Amino acid sequence: MPIRLADTALMGLSHTGNMHIKGVLRSASSCILAALSLIPAILFAQVGNSGMAFLKLGVSGRGVSMADAMAGSVDGAAATYYNPAGLAPRTGNNGTQLMFMHKEWIQDTRMEFLGGSGPLSENDALGIAVVSTTVSDIEIRTRPGAPEGTFTARNFSAGASYGRRFSDNVRVGVTLKFLYEKILVDEASGFAFDFGTQIATPVENLTVGAVVANLGKLNALETEATALPALARIGPAYTFALSDDLYRFLLAADLVHIFPEGKTYFNAGTEVNFNRIASGRVGYQFGSTGRGFTAGVGLAYSVFALDYAYAPLSSDLGNTHTITLALNL
């Protein structure tokens, strides 16, 4: 069974790993097959039966630092990833946002996100996003000894999102995305979509978000198609302020179920913002054997916002870092 780049991204396959391949290279799938013995069991349990695992990783410093508990609170460009309903204007027209993210994941795995969002009218908004994940310098071996070369495995998605406010209490959104993966000489492509909603409850400042994501399929990579990590997430977000709005607080939680893997996680996070300038955030992902505590900070000045997230991994797999730069117009 071929292994996809998304799986290597979560499992930390690096250029130092040995891939003892039987026979002459016919494709990247056969190149990576023998690497199963090198995959840390703790992350293999999380990857499960689906590939394209970058579709399960957060794309904003704010979101990652809050353990990706974003279904009910996300807005702006990050909504193209977490919940497209967050694009829809809350009160009148939202501004335009451009956002860039860089993530250093396990060893040589890197992820980039470039997204934008902007209003179409008082009730409608549009978003676009591109996500790229690479694992560099994977060694090619057909026999013991020095490697015969290296290659880079890639995953990529590009999508467009639409959000609409139906009333002051109900917002919905949809995302359509093109997916692509390449491992050495083999490549595959396909499509997927997300659908989400955010509902303001009768409780003041309490919003509930829900989304189903990654529904679609890829064509075969050599002989077998990648199973997408179709998932559902639902959760509340509650905001309140103290000291004449000087301190603003956000409490959020998401229940996430990944269907191909039969895995369920509970993500919880909180944010404290001072004077709409500086933010501190912490979160925790329950039910995961590889991830747990997360934390981060954010700074906003004029039209610029900078966010950073730190997420340590267990089993000596190191620490991950996510940095986001946003421009709010």
Strand partners, 210: 197, 234
Q: What is the pLDDT of residue 56?
A: 87
Residue 141 in contact with residue 176, Cβ under 8 Å? no
Q: What is the pLDDT of residue 136?
A: 73
Cα 60 to Cα 68: distance, rounded to the nearest angstrom: 9
Q: What is the pLDDT of residue 15?
A: 36
Count of CB atoms within 10 A of residue 76's CB?
Answer: 25
Residue with tokens 């895995």: 263
Q: What is the pLDDT of residue 135?
A: 81
Write down the domain spans for the chain: 58-135+153-328
Residue 66 in contact with residue 34, Cβ under 8 Å? no
Q: What is the pLDDT of residue 1?
A: 36
Take residue 208 and report the two structure tokens written for it. 């509930």
Half-sphere exposure of 159 (CA within 13 A, CB side): 32
Residue with tokens 């002051």: 168
Q: What is the pLDDT of residue 210?
A: 98
Q: Does domain 58-135+153-328 have CATH number 2.40.160.60?
A: yes
Cα 29 to Cα 56: distance, rounded to the nearest angstrom: 22
Along the 329 residues of the chain, how does pLDDT read in single tens digits? 333 443 443 433 333 333 333 332 333 333 333 332 332 333 333 344 667 888 888 899 999 999 999 999 999 999 999 999 999 987 655 789 999 999 988 767 889 999 999 999 989 999 999 999 988 766 666 677 676 677 678 889 999 999 999 998 999 999 999 999 888 778 889 999 999 999 999 999 999 999 999 999 888 877 777 789 999 999 999 999 998 889 999 999 999 999 998 899 999 999 999 999 999 999 999 988 778 899 999 999 999 999 999 998 877 777 899 999 999 98
